[in-house]
């Protein structure tokens, strides 16, 4: 069994990418490394860039890769505060890693002495110099603002920190024909069911995997999404066709705790396996677009809009806090655009 490992930057984080030919034993071993994730973009597993992991994979140690002892203690306090406020684990990881990066940069300086000017210097001398992404820059600013306000009782004037403008990217949308090909690509009823439910209800990947049989209300024809993004419950309509598919699926699999369980009864289906199911569906249907599970949610919203559904209802169905987030779909809906006649036709 051979592998290679090297440090990389992944979404602004220091990570170690581990490359090896597909091997069940190695995959099982790396899954047990805390923080291990699969990157489809890099086609490699990657793990946190820590001293322990560098030793494990025989990579030259990082010098000064850890904050001071005061910094480490404050990061732990920040984590505890975030947990007490019920922030999600993903936000907790993002914010604590952002704070860690900042405190490594100022490891020789007492935290009480750090000023707004230091944040600006960090932005210019570390983030911009290393060409890190705008989203990472915003994460850093948000994390530092929260940390200093809550644990240090110090306000950082974020307006003086040059926060980047977010790129105004349009959501990726599949046509109804493409969605149909994807949903019909699998003969396995569980695989077909999961992809169909994401599209038919506009679900996020995590929302689908958190579903339990009791969340399906077949009498009222609704799906109850508990504790979705932003700690908000919401309901979405359940298609009669989907309900029939769910009944057939239930007869075969008889799920216990979660609607979709993996090989271990009572545990959620693995998110990476679900992504692989979509990848296989794309290959089977001959679609070459780099579609993700979230494309199905975008397509659901756009197709609703093209069918004449009011934008306010779409906002509720998607669980958006702001109508501005939902309005982005008006820019990708082609129904009205296709009716516009080009002046070229009159020449």
pLDDT exceeds cutoff 80 at 230: no
pLDDT exceeds cutoff 90 at 94: no
pLDDT exceeds cutoff 70 at 336: no
- Whether residue 339 lies inside any domain: the answer is no
- Co-location of 305 and 213 in the same domain: yes
- Co-location of 189 and 323 in the same domain: yes
pLDDT in tens, 167-193: 566 778 899 999 999 999 999 999 999
Q: Which residues have a catalytic role annotated? A: 204, 229, 294, 297, 320, 329
- Co-location of 153 and 184 in the same domain: no
pTM, to two decimals:
0.61
The number of folded domains in the chain is: 3
- Co-location of 304 and 239 in the same domain: yes
- Co-location of 75 and 40 in the same domain: no
Q: What percent of the chain has pLDDT over 70?
A: 86
Rounded-to-integer distance, Cα 17 and Cα 6, Å:
5
- Co-location of 319 and 199 in the same domain: yes
8 A C-beta contact, residue 68 and residue 79: no
With CA atoms as reference, report the closest residue to 206 among 152, 270, 132, 267: 270
- Residue 278: pLDDT band (50, 70, 90) is very high
Strand order from edge to edge, sheet including 44-48: 3-10, 13-20, 44-48, 37-39
pLDDT of residue 220: 92
pLDDT of residue 119: 87
pLDDT of residue 108: 87
pLDDT of residue 121: 87
Rounded-to-integer distance, Cα 132 and Cα 275, Å:
27
pLDDT of residue 160: 59
Q: What is the mean pLDDT of the chain?
A: 84
- Residue 337: pLDDT band (50, 70, 90) is low
pLDDT exceeds cutoff 90 at 81: yes
Q: Is 219 left (phi over 0), alpha (psi -120 to 50) or beta?
A: alpha
Lowest-confidence range among 3-17, 74-88, 103-117, 234-248?
A: 3-17
- Co-location of 140 and 287 in the same domain: no
Residue 150 belongs to what domain range?
69-160
- Co-location of 261 and 122 in the same domain: no
- Co-location of 191 and 299 in the same domain: yes
Mean pLDDT (whole number) for 75-102: 89
pLDDT exceeds cutoff 60 at 64: no
pLDDT of residue 281: 95
- Whether residue 86 lies inside any domain: the answer is yes
């Amino acid at each position: 069994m051979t592998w290679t490992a090297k440090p990389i930057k992944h979404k602004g984080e220091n990570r170690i990418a581990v490359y090896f030919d597909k091997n069940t034993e190695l995959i099982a071993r790396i899954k047990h490394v805390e923080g291990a994730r699969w990157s489809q973009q890099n086609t490699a597993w990657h793990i946190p860039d820590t001293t322990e992991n560098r030793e494990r994979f025989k990579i030259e140690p990082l010098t000064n890769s850890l904050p001071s002892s005061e910094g480490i203690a404050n990061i732990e306090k920040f984590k505890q505060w975030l947990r007490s406020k019920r922030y999600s684990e993903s936000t907790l990881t993002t914010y604590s890693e952002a704070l860690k990066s900042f405190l490594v940069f100022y490891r020789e300086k007492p935290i009480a002495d750090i000023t707004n000017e230091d944040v600006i210097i960090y932005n210019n001398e570390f983030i911009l110099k290393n060409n890190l992404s705008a989203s990472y820059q915003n994460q850093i600013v948000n994390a530092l603002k929260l940390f200093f306000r809550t644990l240090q009782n110090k306000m950082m004037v974020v307006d003086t920190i040059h926060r980047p403008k977010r790129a105004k990217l349009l959501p990726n949308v599949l046509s109804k024909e493409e969605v149909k090909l994807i949903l019909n690509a699998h003969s396995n009823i569980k695989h077909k069911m999961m992809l169909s439910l994401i599209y038919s209800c506009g679900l996020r990947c995590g929302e689908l995997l958190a579903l339990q049989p009791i969340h399906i209300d077949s009498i009222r024809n609704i799906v109850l999404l508990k504790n979705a993004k932003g700690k908000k419950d919401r309901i979405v309509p359940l298609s009669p066709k989907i309900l029939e598919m769910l009944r057939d699926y239930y007869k075969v699999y008889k799920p216990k705790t979660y609607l979709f369980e993996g090989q271990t009864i009572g545990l959620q289906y693995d998110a990476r396996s679900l992504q692989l199911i979509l990848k296989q569906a794309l290959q089977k249907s001959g679609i070459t677009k780099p579609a993700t599970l979230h494309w199905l949610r975008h397509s659901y919203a756009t197709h609703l809009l093209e069918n004449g559904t009011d934008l306010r209802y779409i906002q509720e169905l998607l669980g958006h806090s702001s109508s501005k987030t939902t309005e982005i779909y008006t820019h990708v809906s082609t129904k009205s655009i296709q009716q516009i006649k080009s002046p070229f036709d009159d020449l």
